[in-house]
Amino acid sequence: QADERYQKMRARLMLPLAQQQFEAGDLDQVDRTIVEALRIDSANGKFHVLAGRVAVERDRLERALHLFQHAIEVDSELAPAHYYRGLVLQRWRRYESAATSYRKAYKLEPDRPAYLLALGEMLVALDRTDEALDLLQSKLTYFEHNVGLRVALGQLYAITGDHDQAAMFLNEAHLLHPDDHQIQEDL
């Protein structure tokens, strides 16, 4: 039992190493670290998520989806697994399924604006712009200093033809991030 606990602890310590390797772009080394860690602890969903992210980077979307699904089976409360599953589904233009995945990720981790913005993007793709506007506006106070949320609202209002509101949100985004030339151009 002590050996088993030691091995599981060792596997958990490999996760930050694998994430560093991923961020450095050393995908081959990430693969080796993940294989070793999963050999020790195959029930760790975080390793399956990271393996899926490597598969996405290598444009192996079918494998990535399988890995994200497996991570969800291992731990249904793992928000990144739902989020990255949504990314794959979005690439395949399965917007309804992607929106469901993003919604689940956001429900599990409501402090992650990327999950909220991804859900908003899918609602727009599904021609539910009003729902996207309501959702994003409801979180303005919560994500008070989030540039991406203001840019998204500005773009949504521009799409709907409300240029005054679009300019207001893009101006707020510009004030929060004055060096972003794309925001200036949109404004």
Q: Measure CA 15 to chain center.
A: 18
Q: Residue 64 and residue 86: Cα distance in Å, rounded?
A: 11
Q: Residue 102 and residue 81: Cα distance in Å, rounded?
A: 10
Q: Residue 175 and residue 58: Cα distance in Å, rounded?
A: 37
DSSP structure string for 163-182: HHHHHHHHHHHHHH-TT-HH
| pTM metric for this prediction | 0.90
What would the pLDDT profile of 104-142 be if each residue is shown by its tens digit?
999 999 999 999 999 999 999 999 999 999 999 999 999
What would the pLDDT profile of 20-55 be if each residue is shown by its tens digit?
999 999 999 999 999 999 888 888 899 999 999 999
